[in-house]
Amino acid sequence: MLRRLWSSRPYAIDLGLLLLRISAAYLIMTHGWPKLIHFAERADSFQDPIGLGKAVSLSLALFAEFFCGAFLLVGLFSRIVLIPLMVNMMVIVFVVHGPKPLGDKELSLFYLISFVCLFLSGPGRYSVDNLLKK
């Protein structure tokens, strides 16, 4: 009984990766969607944490959160699209919320950890990347 509880079946690992990938992608897309539909209104007031300009910073955050999130959702070019997502979260965690207490950056830190785990493990069996590999 305990041996069964502690062992991992390959399908269980792939289901776990699927759940992590879909939930992280969908949730990050909910942050990107408002940036997409209100781009013009937010372009002048968006933070510019690394000095690229407000519109450029908003564009990069929108690209990572919505478009890369959409690719990650279906598991297409997963490791490639995880790079902008991880960079986006690193800027938020270490630059935007850097001096703030952990409570202010825990959501971004959790996204970062999730994206790093997916980057290291790959998207799993249930992804478009896996279909293309065959």
Residue 9 in any domain: the answer is no
Model confidence over 83-96: pLDDT tens digits? 999 999 999 999 99
Domain with 50 in it: 15-133
Question: Cα dihedral sign for 97, 102, 103, 109?
Answer: positive
- Say if residues 126 and 80 touch (Cβ distance below 8 Å): no
CA torsion, points 105, 106, 108, 109, in degrees to nearest 10?
110
Q: Is residue 7 part of a domain?
A: no
- % of the chain exceeding 90 in pLDDT: 89
How many folded domains does the chain comprise?
A: 1
Q: How many residues does the chain have?
A: 134
Decide if 52 is inside a domain: yes
Q: What is the pLDDT of residues 65-79, one digit of tens each?
A: 999 999 999 999 999
Question: Is 126 inside a domain boundary?
Answer: yes
| pTM reported for the whole predicted model | 0.91
